[in-house]
Structure 1
Amino acid sequence: MPEKNLISPNACPLTPALLRLLRHAVTLGTTNNKELARSQNCPEETIKSNFYRINTIFGTHSRSEAIIKAIAHKWVQINNDNAPI
């Protein structure tokens, strides 16, 4: 019997925490380390390293490219108010 792939082909490869960071960046309308760190009550270095991890996982080269990829794959959705759904 062939092994079943239990992961949806459109499943997001990010951890829930990394996906939350992307969604938070879209909600705030920024990828600025200082603003994201302040709003998430964490060090700026954490934001930097998390975006590095996101780009590595996605194979992207910028934060904007990562956000565009997440929206294109419907891992992050935005409404008219620019807030993730």
Structure 2
Amino acid sequence: MWCWRRMLRLPRSAFKTNKSILEELCMTQRLSSMVQAPILTFFGHVSRREHDFIGRLVVQGRFEGTRSRRRSPMRRANQIEFR
């Protein structure tokens, strides 16, 4: 909703409901649902492909191997010890 408010140049302090903003813009659905629809369509299209299709394996996160190991995050106490 913040992007619609920005388009209308409404300040943050303006008390307007989300419903009134959507009516002012003549919008019937939210922006997030408009973006999510093609993503779900693509996911459904890819997941109906063959079982060994690489795109399906990547989208569903089912590829073989182990996750890469990284250095553990530095904590503030560890930084103090090195100095």
Q: With the length of structure 1 as denominator, give the TM-score of the two structures.
A: 0.23
The structure number with the bigger radius of gyration is: 2
Task: With a CA cutoff of 8 Å and minimum separation of 6, indicate the structure with the bigger relative contact order.
Answer: 1
Q: With the length of structure 2 as denominator, give the TM-score of the two structures.
A: 0.24
